[in-house]
Amino acid sequence: MNLGLGIDTGGTYTDSVIIDLDSGRILSKSKALTTRSDLTIGIADSLDHLDRSLFYEIRLVSVSSTLATNSVVEGKGCRVGLIVVGRAFDRSIPVEEVIEIEGGHDLEGEPNGELDLEAARGFVLRVRDRVDAFAISSYLSVRNPGHEISLKQTMSSLTSNPIVCGHELSSSLGFNERTVTAVLNAKLIPIISDLIVSVKKVLKERRVEAPLMIVKGDGSLMGEIVSKERPVETILSGPAASLTGAMFLTGEQEAVVIDVGGTTTDIGILRKGKPRLDSEGALIGGWRTRVKAADISTSGIGGDSRVIVHDGRIHLAPLRVVPLCIAGELYPEISEKLEEVMSLPPTPQSPHLDVSRVDQAIDFFVFSKEIQGYSLSEQEARLVELVKSGPMSMREIGKTIRDRMLYVSARRLEEMGIIQRIGLTPTDVLHAEGSYVEYDPEPSRIGVEIEARLLGMSPEEFCCAVKNAVIDKIATELVKKLVYEETGETTYCRVAADFLDKTARLGTGIDYMCRLHLNKKIVGIGAPVATYLPAVAERLGTGLVLPEHMEVGNAVGAITGSIIESVEIVIIPNLALGDTQDPPCTLHSQTEKREFLKLTDAIEYARRAASEMASSRAVSSGADDVEVVVENRDTCMGLGKGWGEDTLVEVKIVATAVGKPYQFFV
């Protein structure tokens, strides 16, 4: 057989599937909890629940991961030295060492000044032992990469650290965005390298010998060697895999894909069978990059979102907590502790307290991990030592540590990831009512009963109310996403906000109501979607597709993607010189700037060069049987009387190489 292994490491679960690459049949699948402190533990656990008799037949392995995205958001990565050429840069870009030197180019690709190689040499010699990688960003290097190329050649003789150039990662204009992309790429090199080494170790221990691919943020694949060079392209890898998986499982070419996970709900659009990409580049952690990635709307609502009862209402907080049902299996004493809470009178909460600061009687804290470089205060150290012995509530901790700042310390430790909260979640609600039982339902049942009592509800009424709150949230986020797709706007006046609210929640005002009908079906991915999405689809007047194997859709997407590499070359006609029908022109690519006497010659050269570059990149990424499509994208505009109404001002040659991953055969 010709089998593929797909692995997706999400924020909460690590999914894996074995699929017959010839027939598309899924032969084995598994889910395990993601271990954030060491992803390989969760990956190993997930693989060990697959049919191991199939491992010998695996010819290809592909991994999608949240690691790059989480690392950017959390500010993790190696130390980077940045050389900026020809222009000042945004000083908030996260680098350890930086220098600005003379050089750079203009829009025609002509030098703005002489490149200061001596300043660059001095910088590298001064900081090479204080950084782990270098990034180079020269102004308008997409019009002429010469200065970045010269710098990299010079620096390579002075340091063995990785060196990243902005023009190698993007051919799009935008100096700050390209600088951010280069810096983040440099920061992520050791992180992705460690992930690849760890995954290969897990595979070797299980005697799986096959090429390893990594999912990019646009849903396509790249080989492990390329992923080590361009790790920034794995940003939004996981959500992109869900879109690819949805298309593979359903065959839907035009659809809205909603992936409800444990930590977040991701919403993306399939157009012509491909994820719709963010034309401006991925926006991650507040940074606009030039990374081609699926345009995903992510909201903090998932199976493990925190359910809070406060001021007579149910609130859904974006904070991910350990569900009571999972905690019950890890810590059997949880049920006994909850029974004790049941016997206590309710603790009053100030109605003016922010919901995120509410501490519930059914919440517990456990030790998560040590954080290097963070010094604990005496109070924090005592708190950490207490929870290392097992789950403890704030009430229990407060009996030992009597300090009015105790809650502040707990919040800080939780935000740092040193301790983790156990609490009531939508997953617990499903366990309590019996509609989905994967873990210990007893703690969930007790937790629901305690919170229902605070609202004067029965447990059944409480479960229904929480599920409706989740449906309201998903429907609202979906409508916002679709409005953005149509208008590009994310802000609303009071009138628009009222229409949106009535549409998503099926609200009825005094005199009017709003109803919306989607032009596309909804495809659900994720274990809990069958609980929530039927009501969402009904509210928005559209069909719902819940495919078989939807609970491991991301892992399916990881192994069923193609390798896609694109190369863009820009040609600028010089209309002031020569024949306007076939004028002289300047060609700008990621490797050169070149002058041509005739536009037709430049286009012929560019099509050939772009095709060869795209094909070479696809093969380097591990593609087999590569097909290349080359497009001419002309930009015309009216230049005024006497110049014509449709004068050609730019030709962009885009070559796209597509191929399936090379498969290893024994």
pLDDT tens for residues 241-294? Answer: 999 999 999 999 999 999 998 888 889 999 988 888 887 888 776 778 888 888
What tens digit of pLDDT does each residue of 538-594 get?
Answer: 999 999 999 999 999 999 999 998 999 999 999 999 877 656 678 999 999 988 899
pLDDT averaged over every residue in the chain: 89
Q: Which of 64, 62, 54 is nearest to 20 (CA)?
A: 54
Q: Which helix (H) or strand (E) holds 137?
A: strand 133-138
Least confident of 212-221, 232-241, 410-419, 447-456: 410-419
Q: What per-residue confidence (pLDDT) applies to 410? A: 81
CA distance 84 to 103: 9
Provide the H-helix boundaries in 274-405.
324-330, 334-342, 378-388, 394-400
Distance from C-alpha of 230 to C-alpha of 248, rounded to nearest angstrom: 26
**What is the C-alpha to C-alpha distance for residues 173 and 166, in angstroms, rounded to an integer?**
11
In 540-638, alpha helices (H): 553-560, 599-620
User: Cα–Cα–Cα angle for 143, 147, 150, nearest 5°?
Assistant: 135
Closest CA to 439 of 335, 525, 300: 335
Exposed, middle or buried: residue 529 (CB in 10 Å: 0-12, 13-18, 19+)? buried
| pLDDT attached to residue 645 | 59
Q: What is the pLDDT of residue 524?
A: 96
C-alpha pair distances (Å), 49 with each of 42, 241, 368, 555: 11, 21, 25, 14
The two counts, helices (H) then strands (E), for the chain are 19, 28
**Cα–Cα distances in angstroms (integers) from residue 382 to residues 94, 376, 421, in the given order:** 33, 9, 17
pLDDT of res. 666: 41
pLDDT of residue 92: 78
| Strand-pair category, 221-223 with 521-525 | unpaired
CB 407 within 8 A of CB 382: no
Task: State the number of CA atoms in the 13 A half-sphere of 52 facing the CB.
Answer: 10
Instruction: List pLDDT tens digits, range 490-502.
Output: 888 899 899 988 9
Of 5, 113, 118, give the one whose Cα is nearest residue 52. Answer: 5
CB 275 within 8 A of CB 240: yes
Residue 272, classified by CB atoms within 10 Å of its CB into exposed (0-12), middle (13-18) or buried (19+), is exposed
Which two tokens mark 333?
A: 């004493």
The pLDDT > 90 percentage for the chain reads 56
The pLDDT tens digits for 123-180 are 999 999 999 999 999 999 988 999 999 999 999 999 999 999 999 888 888 898 999 9
> Hey, what are 627's tokens?
């097909």
Contact present, 448 and 457 (Cβ < 8 Å): no
Q: How large is the average pLDDT for residues 312-323?
A: 90
Parallel/antiparallel/unpaired status of strands 521-525 and 544-545:
parallel
Q: E strands, 102-195, where?
A: 133-138, 163-165
CB crowding 507-525: b at 16 or more within 10 Å, else e:
eeeeeeebebebebbbbbb
DSSP-derived secondary structure letter, 520:
S
Q: How many other C-beta atoms can be found within 10 angstroms of the C-beta atom of residue 194?
A: 13
Tokens in use for 490? 């994310």
